[in-house]
Amino acid sequence: MTISSQTPVFFCHGVPGSPLDAALLATEDRVVVAPNLFECAGNAPLEHLEVALDTAVAQNGGQALHVVGFSIGAMAALRLAAAGPERVARVTVVSPAAPLQLGDFLPDMAGAPVFKLAMKRPRVLRVLTAAQGLLARNAPGVLIKQLFAKCGAQERVLLADSQFVAALTEGMRNSFVAHRVGYLTYLAAYVADWSDELRNVQAPVEIWHGDKDTWAPLAMAEAIKDMVPSSCVLHVVPDGEHYSTLKAVQLG
């Protein structure tokens, strides 16, 4: 691996999502390490990520990395920073989904039905995910249309971008077909209470969040900022939505 002059990025994709989400992030000439979050074993979703991060740090001459997390991938990024501060130089979270226990967020979340099933009816969620898998395999465009039925102007622009549609399609396949168990494992980890881990984040944190995000309300970014004890800067993207904010991020 060739290391650029800038700190390499360790990218934690969305849920649903895939490593191809990283293609939507403007990284200039940086090295980007984008592991598949769903290649996890059992109920330890972060274990393989810690191994991947250790390997990437070693390849960077032992120097800590810039960890970036998108959407629920922000949970992975922040928990990695809390668990191994020596491996993480800084953290950027984009459209982050905060712990549900920090506020009354669900009424403002487009994915609320899925999270409620993950908390209270996981068997029903498994059946739903299997049905989504059939669509992802045979008619991904239908599934994407359903998921973005109520999106705003900026997301509609993205839906005309072939690179964005390719990333979405791969994210659906990765989540609902290839690694369904890993996807469900991450949902279960997300709806559990991981809020106390935010208090252990030592690296400086930047948050990028759109003020029109219907998947993760802006209040989630504010809740994370209030919990993280390290330096934390919140960038609010005017008219930004969930995915369009990922395209708008400027990595320092």
Q: pLDDT tens across 59-85, in order? A: 999 999 999 999 999 999 999 999 999
- The model's confidence at residue 41, banded by pLDDT at 50, 70 and 90, is low
Say whether 103 sits in a helix, a strand or coil. Answer: coil
Q: Greater confidence, 28 or 146?
A: 146
What's the total number of domains in the chain? 1
Q: What's the rounded mean pLDDT across residues 165-174?
A: 96
- Band of residue 197 on the pLDDT scale cut at 50, 70, 90: very high
DSSP class per residue in 60-107: TTT--EEEEEETTHHHHHHHHHHH-GGGEEEEEEES----GGGS--GG
CATH of the domain at 171: 3.40.50.1820
Share of the chain above pLDDT 70, in %: 97
DSSP reduced 3-state for 179: coil
Contact 109, 242 (CB under 8 A): no
Residue 7: per-residue pLDDT = 82
- Give the per-residue pLDDT at 40: 84
Q: How far apart (Å, rounded) are the C-alpha atoms in residues 216 and 144? A: 18
Taking residue 44's Cβ as centre, other Cβ atoms within 10 Å add up to 12
Is the pLDDT assigned to residue 1 strictly greater than 50?
no
Cα–Cα distance for residue pair 33/64, rounded to 1 Å: 13
The span from the CA of 38 to the CA of 181, in Å, is 8
Phi and psi at residue 115, to the nearest 5°? -65, -35
Bridge-based pairing state of the strands 65-70 and 88-94 = parallel
Helices (H), the chain: 47-59, 73-83, 112-120, 122-138, 140-147, 153-158, 162-173, 180-191, 218-227, 242-248
Question: What's the confidence (pLDDT) of residue 151?
Answer: 86
What mean pLDDT is predicted for residues 107-132? 96
Q: State the average pLDDT for the chain.
A: 93
**Which structural domain range is residue 7 located in?**
1-252
Give yes or no for residue 2 having a pLDDT over 50: no
pTM for this model (two decimals): 0.94
Residue 168: pLDDT over 70 = yes
> Which of 25-39, 45-59, 64-78, 231-245 has the weakest average pLDDT?
25-39
Q: Do 56 and 10 touch, CB atoms closer than 8 A?
A: yes
Question: DSSP secondary-structure letter at 31?
Answer: -
Inform me whether the pLDDT recorded for 45 exceeds 50. Answer: yes
In angstroms, rounded to a whole number, what is the distance separating the alpha carbons of residues 63 and 45?
Answer: 24
Q: How large is the average pLDDT for residues 95-104?
A: 98
CA–CA separation, 87 and 67 (whole Å): 9
